[in-house]
Amino acid sequence: MDMQKVESNKYAYFEENTSAEIVNARMGSEASPRLREVMSSLVIHLHQAIKEVEPTHEEWKQAIQFLTDVGHICTDWRQEFILLSDILGVSTLVDSINNRRPTGATENTILGPFYVPNAPRYANGANICLDGKGEPLVVSGRVLNTAGEPIPGATIDVWQTNDDGFYDVQQKGVQPDWNLRGVFTADADGKYWYRSAKPHFYPIPDDGPVGKLLGVLGRHPNRAAHIHYIVTAPGYAPIVTHVFTPDCPYLDEDAVFGVKHSLIADFQKMEDENRAESLEFSCPFWSLNWDFVLASQG
């Protein structure tokens, strides 16, 4: 037995104290610098967490089984690992890291699974609530740059749930196609406006392993009520964002940590019969004034 060989590589054999360094030392020259960076950090933090927690063999097996269950429920139309990323705040964190904006610019959020491209283009003022459900809402505002100047021609792509808490694509044949979706264009003063219905909170899919995890964590699956927007204009960084109602019971407890303080909007309840009539609304109705502020393309 060649003891010299045995001693030659300090990271050859497993030791608890240096376990992460031992694993990372194994990477070969074929690993790209970026993969090396990513895996090193993941291995170090994973081993640190395990050393803090000291899982029993039974707990380790439970974790393996949980990940396996999450994998098994994934299909072309259901992505349970994204759900897991969502409820651990990872999706929002990754989005935030990749979309840091100058002060005053509208903050970004995750896109979410319910965006559909090529929604109908409408003139300002159109009503996108095609099922007639819910409390009427009129939204108006401007698209501005960080100097406060209007951005004429900016595109505002909007989508939201109906009053039952479902997107049209979740209820094909029940809701009209393209219900509560539309693309608007800011006018010469950067102004846009449209009619809709107040959005409703809704649960993320909670009949799988992620839903079970939420249960044992003492958490509910509900997303705070919101409207989704993508706002774009040439020369500016696109904004993907949510705007939240301030009175949703889940505002402080959004299941996927999508709520940012700056995105909670002042939805006002309106009792103005004349204005309701001119909007072809019942009364009372809701009014939201909301400006988007775009940063120049980095």
- Residues 90-109 vs its own copies: string with x where CB under 8 A? xxxxxxxxx-x---------
Is 68 one of the binding residues for its own copies (CB under 8 A)? yes
Rounding to the nearest 10 degrees, give the CA dihedral for residues 110, 112, 117, 120: -100
CB of 244 to its own copies, least distance (A): 9
**Of 111 and 126, CB closest to its own copies:** 111
Position 276 contacts its own copies (CB under 8 A): no
Give the residues across from 296 on adjacent strands: 236
Q: Between 13 and 274, whose beta carbon lies closer to its own copies? A: 13
d(CA 16, CA 294) in angstroms, rounded, equals 50
Least Å distance between CB 169 and its own copies?
A: 21
- Least distance from its own copies to the Cβ atom of residue 50, Å: 6
Question: Both ends of the chain: CA-CA distance in Å?
Answer: 61
Which amino acid makes up residue 273?
E
Peptide bond into 284 cis (omega under 30): yes
User: What DSSP state is assigned to residue 150?
Assistant: B
Q: Which of 246, 273, 296, 297 binds its own copies (CB under 8 A)?
A: 246
Under rule CB under 8 A, residue 230 binds its own copies: no
Could you say which of 101, 133, 191, 219 contacts its own copies (CB under 8 A)? 219
Report the alpha-carbon distance of residue 167 to residue 50 in Å, rounded: 40
Query: Within 251-270, which residues bind its own copies (CB under 8 A)?
Result: 251-253, 257-261, 264-267
Task: Tally DSSP H helices, then E strands, for the chain.
Answer: 8, 11
Helices (H), the chain: 3-8, 19-25, 33-53, 57-73, 80-87, 90-98, 209-216, 273-278
Binding range to its own copies, per CB under 8 A, among 79-87, 123-131, 133-141, 165-173: 79-87
Measured from the CB of residue 224, what is the shortest distance to its own copies in angstroms? 10
Q: List binders of its own copies among 46-65 (CB under 8 A).
A: 46-57, 59-60, 64
x/- map, 3-42, its own copies, by CB under 8 A: --xx-xx--xxxxx--xx-xx--xxxxxxx--x-xxx-xx
- Which of the 8 DSSP states describes residue 278? H
Residues near its own copies (CB under 8 A), total: 87
Cβ proximity of 245 and 201 under 8 Å: no
